[in-house]
Amino acid sequence: MKLFIKALCAATVICIIFSMVPFSAECSNISGEVFRLHILANSDSRADQRLKLKVRDSVLKYTNGLYKTADSLINAEKLTADNLQKIANVAQREVERSGYNYKVKAEIKRMYFDTRYYGKVTMPSGFYNALRLTIGKGEGHNWWCVMYPSLCIGASTNYDALKNDTSDNQYKIMTEGGYEFKFKIVEYFVKISSLFS
């Protein structure tokens, strides 16, 4: 009987692992089709956190016009790279206009994000390309959003852009509930696999 229970447990684990493979692959595909924005505040003081949001608003106002011509992830990343100094200047001007002398560093990085929830959209954990803005020491809480397809505008977000730029299955994963357990498994898998790469 003990052997049967062990075999049943092993079979259950194997079934769970195999059922996760397609889901994990779709999550990985999502991370390859999305460009994110990540802003690190100087510190967690209220003033620095408010400043982070002012920088966010200025940068999003500038990039909103910039990305109107972006019709692909590659194009959005190229526009960002070509305008990286201008984006840094927009952020720096906002910092100085707000009365601070922090330096702003702008870079495009491949970085790990945990599973994040954004309105009705869930972004699975994984490694994403991102525009990262570091204000001053960059020791405060961060703010993030999806720059391409654009989901950075909050309640007025047009989710059609996301639907148009992802597969039906990917869109379903990101916008329908009920995947929390699978997202957690993928998150652990990505963290473990990153240790070996």
Give kind and range of the element (H or E) at residue 112: strand 104-113
Q: Which of 91, 111, 110 is nearest to 102 (CA)?
A: 91
**Residue 33 structure tokens:** 């089709």
Q: Which pLDDT value is given to residue 166? A: 56
Task: Give long-range contacts, CB 8 A cutoff, 24+ apart: 16-22.
Answer: 16/185, 20/182, 20/185, 20/186, 20/189
Task: State the pLDDT at residue 124.
Answer: 79
Domain ranges within the chain, ordered by starting residue = 34-169
Note the pLDDT of residue 177.
53
pLDDT number for residue 103: 97
- Tens digit of pLDDT per residue, the chain (197 long)? 666 565 444 444 444 444 444 444 455 556 777 888 999 999 999 999 999 999 999 999 898 888 878 888 888 899 999 999 999 999 999 999 999 999 999 999 999 888 777 667 777 788 889 999 999 999 999 988 888 877 664 433 445 555 555 556 555 555 555 445 444 554 545 555 555 55
pLDDT tens, position by position, 111-155: 988 877 766 777 778 888 999 999 999 999 998 888 887 766 443
* Of residues 179, 126, 182, 123, the one with CA closest to residue 149: 123
Tell me the whole-structure pTM to 2 decimals.
0.68
- Give the pLDDT score at 86: 96
